[in-house]
Amino acid sequence: MRTLIILTFLAVLVMAATCYESRESMESHEHYYPFINRRRANDFIQADTRLGAITQERIRERTKAPHERQREMCEDYYPCELYAYRHGYAAAYKHYFGRRRTK
């Protein structure tokens, strides 16, 4: 009987030590309502700015400068790329693609 009382007392002490909620945890507003509304969640992201940046990037991809298109064509063709390392992309493009061959 004595051991049963001691074990019960120890169980109550263990339960009190592990289940104790401090005042600090009660101060948090998340304790009562863990979710925040959509407006507060998205305050740090400006949707218009982000969409505008994506749109500008897509426009820039479609309308590339002529020298950038020439450089990309030269990068895709390995001999032109090797030539460009020694003489530059403008000279390499002119050497490989400047004169059009028609048959």
Is the pTM value of this prediction over 0.85?
Answer: no
* Domain hosting residue 89, numbered range: 65-102
* Number of domains comprising the chain: 1
Q: Write out pLDDT tens, residues 41-93.
A: 666 666 666 667 777 777 776 777 888 888 888 888 999 999 999 999 889 99
Burial class (CB in 10 A: 0-12, 13-18, 19+), 50: exposed
In a domain, 70, yes or no: yes
In a domain, 84, yes or no: yes
Which pLDDT does position 44 carry in this prediction? 62
In this model, does residue 30 exceed pLDDT 90? no
Which alpha helices (DSSP H) does 1-103 contain, by range? 2-18, 23-27, 38-41, 47-62, 66-76, 78-87, 89-93
In a domain, 87, yes or no: yes
Q: Which residue has the higher pLDDT, 39 or 79?
A: 79
The pair of three-digit structure tokens given for residue 98, joined into one six-digit string: 């400047």
In this model, does residue 101 exceed pLDDT 70? no
In a domain, 12, yes or no: no
